[in-house]
Amino acid sequence: MAELSWVATAPLSHVLKPGHHGAETGGSGVAYTGLSDFALVQVMARRGKASALAKAAKAHFGVAAPLKPKAVAAGGSLLIWSGPDQFLALSPRDGLASPLASLAGPLAGAASLSDQSDARALIRIAGPRARDVLAKFCSLDLDASVFPVGTAAATSVDHTAVTLWRGEDTAGGAATFNLLVFTSFAESLWHMMLDAGAAYGIEVGEASYGV
Amino acid sequence: MRIACPYCGPRENGEFSYLGDATPVRPSLEQGVDAMLDYVFLRDNVAGEMQELWYHGGGCRAWLKVTRNTLTHEISAVEAARGAGAAKVGKR
Ligand SMILES: [Zn+2]
Protein backbone atom coordinates (compact mmCIF):
# COMPACT_ATOMS: atom_id res chain seq x y z
CA MET A 1 0.00 0.00 0.00
CA ALA A 2 1.24 3.46 -0.87
CA GLU A 3 2.42 5.62 1.95
CA LEU A 4 -0.05 8.36 2.66
CA SER A 5 0.85 11.46 4.53
CA TRP A 6 -1.07 14.60 5.27
CA VAL A 7 0.64 17.94 5.21
CA ALA A 8 -1.20 20.78 6.88
CA THR A 9 -0.97 23.98 4.85
CA ALA A 10 -2.59 27.36 5.28
CA PRO A 11 -5.37 27.95 2.73
CA LEU A 12 -3.49 30.83 1.08
CA SER A 13 -0.06 29.17 1.09
CA HIS A 14 -0.02 28.67 -2.70
CA VAL A 15 -0.78 32.29 -3.55
CA LEU A 16 0.39 34.42 -0.63
CA LYS A 17 3.85 35.78 -1.51
CA PRO A 18 5.15 38.13 1.20
CA GLY A 19 6.61 41.37 -0.05
CA HIS A 20 5.61 44.33 -2.13
CA HIS A 21 3.08 43.97 -4.94
CA GLY A 22 1.66 46.35 -7.49
CA ALA A 23 2.58 50.01 -7.88
CA GLU A 24 6.22 50.70 -7.12
CA THR A 25 5.91 54.38 -6.41
CA GLY A 26 4.34 55.99 -3.38
CA GLY A 27 4.97 53.14 -0.96
CA SER A 28 2.21 50.75 0.12
CA GLY A 29 -1.33 52.06 0.27
CA VAL A 30 -2.59 48.82 1.75
CA ALA A 31 -1.30 45.83 3.66
CA TYR A 32 -2.80 42.37 3.22
CA THR A 33 -1.97 39.91 5.98
CA GLY A 34 -2.90 36.25 5.89
CA LEU A 35 -3.53 35.18 9.48
CA SER A 36 -3.19 31.60 10.66
CA ASP A 37 -3.17 29.61 13.89
CA PHE A 38 -6.62 30.73 14.97
CA ALA A 39 -9.48 28.79 16.48
CA LEU A 40 -12.92 29.59 15.12
CA VAL A 41 -16.17 28.18 16.43
CA GLN A 42 -19.63 28.80 15.00
CA VAL A 43 -22.10 29.14 17.87
CA MET A 44 -25.81 28.89 16.98
CA ALA A 45 -28.67 29.00 19.44
CA ARG A 46 -30.83 25.91 19.34
CA ARG A 47 -34.52 26.39 18.58
CA GLY A 48 -36.12 28.45 21.33
CA LYS A 49 -32.81 28.74 23.22
CA ALA A 50 -31.68 32.22 22.19
CA SER A 51 -32.07 33.70 25.66
CA ALA A 52 -30.49 30.63 27.28
CA LEU A 53 -27.51 31.07 24.96
CA ALA A 54 -27.30 34.79 25.73
CA LYS A 55 -27.14 33.97 29.43
CA ALA A 56 -24.66 31.11 29.09
CA ALA A 57 -22.41 33.12 26.76
CA LYS A 58 -22.35 36.10 29.12
CA ALA A 59 -21.47 33.81 32.04
CA HIS A 60 -18.70 32.12 30.07
CA PHE A 61 -17.15 35.04 28.17
CA GLY A 62 -17.82 37.73 30.76
CA VAL A 63 -19.46 40.00 28.18
CA ALA A 64 -22.68 39.73 26.23
CA ALA A 65 -22.42 38.08 22.82
CA PRO A 66 -23.38 40.50 20.01
CA LEU A 67 -27.07 40.67 19.11
CA LYS A 68 -26.34 43.09 16.29
CA PRO A 69 -23.67 43.09 13.56
CA LYS A 70 -20.71 43.79 15.83
CA ALA A 71 -17.44 42.20 16.92
CA VAL A 72 -17.01 42.19 20.69
CA ALA A 73 -13.77 41.47 22.54
CA ALA A 74 -14.27 38.93 25.31
CA GLY A 75 -11.05 38.19 27.15
CA GLY A 76 -8.91 36.18 24.73
CA SER A 77 -11.77 35.71 22.28
CA LEU A 78 -13.48 37.91 19.75
CA LEU A 79 -17.23 37.30 19.37
CA ILE A 80 -18.37 38.19 15.87
CA TRP A 81 -22.05 38.41 14.94
CA SER A 82 -22.84 36.12 12.00
CA GLY A 83 -26.65 36.20 11.85
CA PRO A 84 -29.70 36.18 14.11
CA ASP A 85 -29.04 34.12 17.26
CA GLN A 86 -25.57 33.10 16.15
CA PHE A 87 -22.00 34.30 16.37
CA LEU A 88 -18.44 33.20 15.71
CA ALA A 89 -15.89 32.86 18.52
CA LEU A 90 -12.38 33.64 17.27
CA SER A 91 -9.27 33.09 19.39
CA PRO A 92 -5.61 32.13 19.04
CA ARG A 93 -5.29 28.38 18.53
CA ASP A 94 -4.24 26.43 21.58
CA GLY A 95 -1.97 23.75 20.09
CA LEU A 96 -3.85 20.61 19.14
CA ALA A 97 -6.65 21.13 21.66
CA SER A 98 -10.10 21.06 20.10
CA PRO A 99 -11.52 24.58 20.00
CA LEU A 100 -14.86 23.05 20.97
CA ALA A 101 -13.56 21.65 24.24
CA SER A 102 -13.70 24.86 26.24
CA LEU A 103 -17.16 25.85 24.93
CA ALA A 104 -19.03 22.55 24.92
CA GLY A 105 -19.57 22.53 28.67
CA PRO A 106 -20.52 26.17 29.30
CA LEU A 107 -22.89 26.38 26.30
CA ALA A 108 -24.31 22.84 26.59
CA GLY A 109 -27.98 22.57 25.69
CA ALA A 110 -28.26 26.19 24.56
CA ALA A 111 -26.21 26.15 21.39
CA SER A 112 -24.92 23.97 18.61
CA LEU A 113 -21.19 24.35 18.03
CA SER A 114 -19.24 23.78 14.86
CA ASP A 115 -15.45 23.95 14.56
CA GLN A 116 -14.64 26.22 11.61
CA SER A 117 -10.93 26.72 12.42
CA ASP A 118 -9.71 25.02 9.25
CA ALA A 119 -12.75 25.97 7.17
CA ARG A 120 -12.05 29.69 6.81
CA ALA A 121 -9.17 31.87 5.81
CA LEU A 122 -8.63 35.08 7.75
CA ILE A 123 -7.31 38.10 5.88
CA ARG A 124 -6.53 41.51 7.36
CA ILE A 125 -6.71 44.57 5.13
CA ALA A 126 -5.14 47.70 6.59
CA GLY A 127 -3.60 50.95 5.53
CA PRO A 128 -4.49 54.42 4.33
CA ARG A 129 -6.13 53.05 1.12
CA ALA A 130 -7.93 50.11 2.81
CA ARG A 131 -11.35 51.69 2.24
CA ASP A 132 -10.53 52.53 -1.37
CA VAL A 133 -9.61 48.91 -2.04
CA LEU A 134 -12.71 47.58 -0.31
CA ALA A 135 -14.91 50.03 -2.21
CA LYS A 136 -13.94 48.18 -5.38
CA PHE A 137 -15.37 44.84 -4.32
CA CYS A 138 -17.59 45.38 -1.29
CA SER A 139 -21.01 47.04 -1.64
CA LEU A 140 -21.24 48.21 1.99
CA ASP A 141 -20.71 51.77 3.17
CA LEU A 142 -17.54 51.45 5.26
CA ASP A 143 -17.17 55.13 6.09
CA ALA A 144 -16.10 55.68 9.70
CA SER A 145 -19.35 57.51 10.46
CA VAL A 146 -21.49 54.44 9.73
CA PHE A 147 -18.97 51.61 10.16
CA PRO A 148 -17.06 52.42 13.35
CA VAL A 149 -14.44 50.17 14.96
CA GLY A 150 -16.16 46.99 16.11
CA THR A 151 -18.82 46.95 13.39
CA ALA A 152 -19.30 43.60 11.66
CA ALA A 153 -21.24 42.43 8.62
CA ALA A 154 -22.21 39.23 6.90
CA THR A 155 -22.03 40.11 3.23
CA SER A 156 -20.98 38.94 -0.20
CA VAL A 157 -17.74 39.87 -1.88
CA ASP A 158 -16.81 38.67 -5.36
CA HIS A 159 -19.87 36.33 -5.26
CA THR A 160 -18.51 34.81 -2.06
CA ALA A 161 -20.05 34.94 1.41
CA VAL A 162 -17.71 36.65 3.87
CA THR A 163 -17.73 37.84 7.45
CA LEU A 164 -16.24 41.31 7.63
CA TRP A 165 -15.46 43.44 10.65
CA ARG A 166 -13.51 46.57 11.43
CA GLY A 167 -10.67 46.14 13.91
CA GLU A 168 -8.70 48.71 15.85
CA ASP A 169 -6.93 51.27 13.70
CA THR A 170 -3.23 50.77 13.05
CA ALA A 171 -0.65 52.63 15.16
CA GLY A 172 -0.49 55.15 12.31
CA GLY A 173 -4.24 55.75 12.50
CA ALA A 174 -5.21 53.80 9.36
CA ALA A 175 -8.35 51.70 9.22
CA THR A 176 -8.15 47.92 9.61
CA PHE A 177 -10.69 45.45 8.25
CA ASN A 178 -10.80 41.70 8.78
CA LEU A 179 -12.29 39.22 6.40
CA LEU A 180 -13.23 35.59 7.00
CA VAL A 181 -13.83 33.57 3.86
CA PHE A 182 -14.39 29.89 3.17
CA THR A 183 -11.01 28.27 2.42
CA SER A 184 -12.07 26.95 -0.99
CA PHE A 185 -12.84 30.51 -2.13
CA ALA A 186 -9.80 32.12 -0.49
CA GLU A 187 -7.39 31.82 -3.42
CA SER A 188 -9.80 33.32 -5.92
CA LEU A 189 -10.64 36.13 -3.52
CA TRP A 190 -6.95 36.75 -2.93
CA HIS A 191 -6.22 37.09 -6.68
CA MET A 192 -9.09 39.54 -7.00
CA MET A 193 -7.77 41.52 -4.01
CA LEU A 194 -4.29 41.73 -5.55
CA ASP A 195 -5.82 43.17 -8.72
CA ALA A 196 -7.99 45.58 -6.75
CA GLY A 197 -5.10 46.90 -4.65
CA ALA A 198 -2.31 46.93 -7.26
CA ALA A 199 -2.77 50.61 -8.07
CA TYR A 200 -2.12 51.56 -4.44
CA GLY A 201 0.85 49.29 -3.82
CA ILE A 202 0.33 46.31 -1.52
CA GLU A 203 2.48 45.06 1.34
CA VAL A 204 1.71 41.35 1.64
CA GLY A 205 2.55 39.49 4.81
CA GLU A 206 1.55 36.59 6.99
CA ALA A 207 1.26 36.23 10.74
CA SER A 208 -0.11 34.15 13.54
CA TYR A 209 -3.47 35.41 14.77
CA GLY A 210 -3.26 37.32 18.03
CA VAL A 211 0.55 37.54 18.09
CA MET B 1 -33.20 47.45 -5.89
CA ARG B 2 -32.15 47.25 -2.29
CA ILE B 3 -33.76 45.29 0.52
CA ALA B 4 -33.46 46.49 4.10
CA CYS B 5 -32.71 43.27 5.96
CA PRO B 6 -34.00 43.66 9.53
CA TYR B 7 -30.80 42.03 10.76
CA CYS B 8 -28.14 43.44 8.42
CA GLY B 9 -29.50 46.74 7.15
CA PRO B 10 -29.94 47.80 3.52
CA ARG B 11 -28.26 45.49 1.00
CA GLU B 12 -28.09 45.18 -2.78
CA ASN B 13 -30.51 42.61 -4.16
CA GLY B 14 -27.65 40.39 -5.43
CA GLU B 15 -27.28 39.18 -1.85
CA PHE B 16 -30.83 37.80 -1.88
CA SER B 17 -32.61 34.92 -3.57
CA TYR B 18 -36.29 35.10 -4.45
CA LEU B 19 -38.67 32.32 -3.49
CA GLY B 20 -42.06 33.82 -4.36
CA ASP B 21 -45.45 34.46 -2.84
CA ALA B 22 -45.31 34.33 0.95
CA THR B 23 -49.03 33.92 1.47
CA PRO B 24 -49.91 30.32 0.45
CA VAL B 25 -50.45 28.21 3.54
CA ARG B 26 -49.95 24.47 3.44
CA PRO B 27 -53.36 22.79 3.74
CA SER B 28 -54.08 20.03 6.18
CA LEU B 29 -54.54 16.53 4.74
CA GLU B 30 -58.30 16.70 5.39
CA GLN B 31 -58.64 19.56 2.92
CA GLY B 32 -58.04 17.16 0.04
CA VAL B 33 -55.95 16.87 -3.06
CA ASP B 34 -57.33 19.95 -4.83
CA ALA B 35 -56.28 22.20 -1.99
CA MET B 36 -52.80 20.66 -2.05
CA LEU B 37 -52.57 21.07 -5.84
CA ASP B 38 -53.50 24.71 -5.46
CA TYR B 39 -50.93 25.20 -2.69
CA VAL B 40 -48.08 23.53 -4.58
CA PHE B 41 -48.64 24.76 -8.14
CA LEU B 42 -51.08 27.64 -8.50
CA ARG B 43 -49.99 31.23 -7.99
CA ASP B 44 -51.64 34.57 -8.63
CA ASN B 45 -49.83 36.92 -10.96
CA VAL B 46 -50.17 39.98 -8.78
CA ALA B 47 -49.95 43.44 -10.33
CA GLY B 48 -49.45 45.58 -7.26
CA GLU B 49 -48.50 44.97 -3.67
CA MET B 50 -47.68 41.42 -2.62
CA GLN B 51 -45.89 39.60 0.16
CA GLU B 52 -42.85 37.64 -0.94
CA LEU B 53 -40.25 35.40 0.63
CA TRP B 54 -36.64 36.38 0.05
CA TYR B 55 -33.53 34.61 1.38
CA HIS B 56 -30.55 36.65 2.52
CA GLY B 57 -28.10 33.93 1.45
CA GLY B 58 -25.30 36.41 0.73
CA GLY B 59 -25.58 37.81 4.24
CA CYS B 60 -27.14 36.61 7.48
CA ARG B 61 -28.85 33.58 5.86
CA ALA B 62 -32.26 34.56 7.25
CA TRP B 63 -35.56 34.18 5.40
CA LEU B 64 -37.45 37.44 5.07
CA LYS B 65 -41.03 38.39 4.31
CA VAL B 66 -40.97 41.38 1.96
CA THR B 67 -43.96 43.51 1.00
CA ARG B 68 -43.22 44.73 -2.53
CA ASN B 69 -45.21 46.46 -5.24
CA THR B 70 -44.60 44.48 -8.42
CA LEU B 71 -45.45 47.51 -10.58
CA THR B 72 -43.06 49.98 -8.95
CA HIS B 73 -40.65 47.68 -7.03
CA GLU B 74 -41.34 49.85 -4.00
CA ILE B 75 -40.75 47.88 -0.81
CA SER B 76 -42.98 48.99 2.04
CA ALA B 77 -42.09 46.42 4.71
CA VAL B 78 -39.48 43.77 5.48
CA GLU B 79 -39.78 41.42 8.40
CA ALA B 80 -38.22 38.18 9.54
CA ALA B 81 -40.07 35.17 8.13
CA ARG B 82 -39.22 33.07 11.14
CA GLY B 83 -42.25 31.06 12.24
CA ALA B 84 -44.15 31.91 9.06
CA GLY B 85 -43.66 28.51 7.44
CA ALA B 86 -44.20 25.00 8.77
CA ALA B 87 -45.36 26.29 12.14
CA LYS B 88 -48.56 27.56 10.51
CA VAL B 89 -49.62 24.44 8.57
CA GLY B 90 -53.40 24.40 8.02
CA LYS B 91 -53.86 27.83 9.64
CA ARG B 92 -54.27 31.30 8.26
ZN1 LIG C 1 -29.53 39.80 6.58
Give the per-residue SS3 of A87-101: EEEEEECCCCCCCCH
Domain that holds residue A160: 19-36+119-208
User: Does some domain include residue A13?
Assistant: no
User: What distance in Å separates the CA atoms of residue B55 and residue B65, rounded to the nearest whole number?
Assistant: 9
From chain B residues 14-33, the ones with a CB under 8 A of any chain A CB are: 14-15
Instruction: Give the number of domains in chain A.
Output: 2
Task: Mark whether A123 and A201 lie in a shared domain.
Answer: yes
pTM of structure: 0.91
In CATH terms, the fold of domain B2-80 is Folate-binding fold (3.30.2270)
Please give the average per-residue pLDDT across B61-79, as a whole number.
96
Q: Phi/psi zone of residue A209: left (φ > 0), alpha (ψ -120 to 50 degrees), beta?
A: beta
CATH number at residue A96: 3.30.70.1520
Task: Mark whether A69 and A109 lie in a shared domain.
Answer: yes
* pLDDT at residue B83 in the model: 63
B88 pLDDT exceeds 80?
no
User: Does some domain include residue A1?
Assistant: no
A35-60: pLDDT as tens digits: 999 999 999 999 999 999 999 999 99
| Chain A CB within 8 Å of residue B7 CB | yes
Please give the average per-residue pLDDT across A170-197, as a whole number.
96
Element (H, E) at B40: helix B32-41
Task: Mark whether A64 and A104 lie in a shared domain.
Answer: yes
A72 pLDDT exceeds 90?
yes
User: Does some domain include residue A14?
Assistant: no
* pLDDT at residue B86 in the model: 40
CATH number at residue A29: 3.30.1360.120
* pLDDT at residue B85 in the model: 47
Please give the average per-residue pLDDT across A78-94, as a whole number.
96
B74-87: pLDDT as tens digits: 999 999 997 654 44
* pLDDT at residue A5 in the model: 85
In terms of C-beta distances under 8 Å and separation of at least 24 residues, what long-range contacts does B77-85 make, across chains too? B78/B3, B78/B4, B78/B5, B78/B6, B79/B6, B80/A84, B80/B6, B80/B7, B81/B22, B81/B53, B82/A84, B84/B22, B84/B53
B interface test, pick of A139, A164, A181 with most B CB neighbours within 10 Å = A139
B91 pLDDT exceeds 70?
no
User: Does some domain include residue A3?
Assistant: no
**Which of A72, A95, A115 marks a domain boundary?**
A115
A4 pLDDT exceeds 90?
no
Lowest pLDDT segment from A22-26, A181-185, B62-66? A22-26
**Which of A115, A150, A165 marks a domain boundary?**
A115
Task: Mark whether A77 and A169 lie in a shared domain.
Answer: no
Please give the average per-residue pLDDT across B16-35, as a whole number.
94
A91 pLDDT exceeds 80?
yes
| Chain A CB within 8 Å of residue B60 CB | yes
Cβ–Cβ gap B61/A154 under 8 Å: yes
Task: Map out the domains of chain B as residue ranges.
Answer: 2-80
* pLDDT at residue A96 in the model: 83
* CB-CB neighbors (< 8 A) of B62 in chain A: 83-84
* CB-CB neighbors (< 8 A) of A139 in chain B: 11-12, 14-15
